[in-house]
Structure formats: structure tokens, C-alpha cells
């Protein structure tokens, strides 16, 4: 009887403290959301500094051909940026492959501007005292799809193939921890520390809210980050070998995730922790 009473008391204590933890988590999430709301205005969101820098880079003449990116075709015609991000990744006949925005920008830099992109790729992710042309360009172009719906293209056989490859990668386990994307993002109610983990395995609101909010300004990093960085960092945290920048594997995974997020309304750059 004593053991039973002790067990019941212990269970009650654990239940009490788990309830306190849940309340604390909810309170923390509300405070985070309140903070995001405070700086979500373009005049307060530091991510819009990247948008402005990207607009300048888009029109700047560079490379051996001394031309700007204003004739770069992002899928809707040469130089057209409004709505282009909402429909990417997509198949580009001139490149013979499905490309996400970063891949396409690198292709245009090399083929339209005649630019040696070695330095651009070296600075693919910004850091203290080191700007990233690609992050800034993505911020500018993605912002031109604000208010539009995610409508990734899946008509071409290559686009359908990339969606299938991306789904396979989402569930593929590996690395020293035997993790996959699905380990964290295929169930309801999962958290890492105080951060809720969206279920991306089912089409609908959670993947829509997730994919429609990148690129984002990361407060903890003091920098704007793209989905390329998010996926790179996810693989790093899983202890997988990190993917090459602008690789076909990252593009395939993005196609699959945007397929799950079809119809989500884009609002970028957002604010995240």
C-alpha cells in the first residue's frame, strides 16, 4: 500500500510539473508571437534591408558582359519578378533542369552576366561583416510574390520526378543519428526545446504557414535566411553530410515541401527566432 501511495504521489507531482511546463511553453510562444507582431512592419523588420540591397543588385551591371540581371528569366518572362517566386522551383528549358531560385540566379549570373560566381557562392550565407548577394536577391524577388499563393509547377515530367525524389529524401534516414526530415516533421505536437515543429508530411495549413514564411529574418542570428540555409542547417543538426549549395537534392526537397504547401499565402520576409 505504501508503494502504491508513493507511486500515485509521484505521478501527481510529475503531472503537476508537466502542466506547469506546458503553461510556460504556451506563455513563451505568446510572447514570441507578440514580439514578431511588433517588428513585422516593413519599417521595423530588419529583413527589409536585405530586400532593398537585393533590388540594387538586380539592377547592377556586373560580369564580363557588364549587364544586369534584369533580363534574367525566372519562369514568367525575361526580367519579370512579380509572382515568379511563388511558382518555383520549376523546369527551365534553357538549363535543361528543374531549378530553385538560387540555382536560377547562379545560372543567370554565369550565362547572362558572364560573372565568375565563385565569390558569390563563398558568401552564400551572410555573417558578421560579410553580406550575401544571394540572400539579398532572394529576399527582393520573394517579396515580389507577397500576397500570392504557392503554386509550384508540377506539369513537366522533370518537375514530377523532382517532387518524387524530394519525398523520398524527406523520409530517407541516415547519418550517425539515423535521422530523417520526417523524424521531426511527420507527427503532430512535436517540439524541440520551446519551438513547435510543424508536421510537413501532410498537405495543408502547417506546411503552408512554414513554406510561405521563407525567406525570414532570424533574430537569433541577426540575419536574413533562405530555405537553402534552413535545409542546410537541418542536415547539419541531423549530423548528415551537409548538401552542396544549390544542389539538385535541396531543390528536389523544396519541390516536395512546396507541393505540400500548395495554396499557402506568401508573406516574406517574415520574422523567426
- The set of residues, in sequence order, having a beta carbon less than 8 Å from that of 52 and lying 6+ positions away, is 140
Is 184 a catalytic site residue?
no
- Return the H-helix or E-strand segment holding 191: strand 191-192
Provide the β-strand partners of residue 67: 62
CA distance 27 to 5: 33
Question: From the candidates 72, 181, 184, 234, which is the catalytic residue?
Answer: 234
CA distance 265 to 229: 21
Cα 64 to Cα 68, 109, 113, 228: the distances in Å are 11, 10, 7, 27
CA distance 112 to 64: 9
Residues designated as active site: 234
Amino acid at each position: 500500500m505504501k508503494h502504491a501511495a508513493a507511486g500515485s504521489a509521484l505521478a501527481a507531482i510529475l503531472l503537476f510539473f508537466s502542466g506547469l511546463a506546458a503553461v510556460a511553453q504556451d506563455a513563451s510562444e505568446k510572447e514570441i508571437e507578440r514580439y514578431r507582431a511588433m517588428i513585422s512592419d516593413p519599417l521595423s523588420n530588419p529583413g527589409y534591408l536585405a530586400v532593398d540591397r537585393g533590388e540594387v543588385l538586380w539592377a547592377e551591371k556586373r560580369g564580363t558582359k557588364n549587364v544586369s540581371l534584369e533580363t534574367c528569366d525566372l519562369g514568367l518572362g525575361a526580367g519579370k519578378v512579380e509572382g515568379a517566386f511563388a511558382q518555383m522551383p520549376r523546369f527551365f528549358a534553357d538549363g535543361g533542369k528543374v531549378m530553385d531560385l538560387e540555382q536560377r540566379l547562379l545560372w543567370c549570373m554565369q550565362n547572362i552576366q558572364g560573372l565568375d560566381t565563385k565569390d558569390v557562392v563563398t558568401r552564400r550565407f551572410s555573417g558578421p561583416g560579410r553580406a550575401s548577394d544571394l540572400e539579398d536577391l532572394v529576399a527582393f524577388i520573394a517579396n515580389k510574390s507577397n500576397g500570392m499563393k504557392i503554386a509550384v509547377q508540377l506539369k513537366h515530367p522533370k518537375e514530377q520526378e523532382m517532387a518524387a525524389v524530394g519525398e523520398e529524401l524527406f523520409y530517407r534516414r541516415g547519418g550517425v543519428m539515423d535521422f530523417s526530415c520526417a523524424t521531426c516533421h511527420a507527427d503532430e505536437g512535436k517540439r524541440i526545446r520551446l519551438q513547435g515543429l510543424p508536421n510537413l508530411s501532410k498537405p495543408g495549413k502547417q506546411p503552408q504557414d512554414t513554406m510561405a514564411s521563407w525567406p525570414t529574418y532570424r533574430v537569433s542570428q541577426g540575419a536574413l535566411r533562405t530555405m537553402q540555409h534552413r535545409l542546410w542547417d537541418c542536415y547539419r543538426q541531423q549530423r548528415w553530410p551537409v548538401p552542396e549549395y544549390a544542389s539538385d537534392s535541396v531543390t528536389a526537397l523544396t519541390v516536395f515541401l512546396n507541393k505540400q504547401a500548395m495554396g499557402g499565402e506568401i508573406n516574406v520576409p517574415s520574422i523567426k527566432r
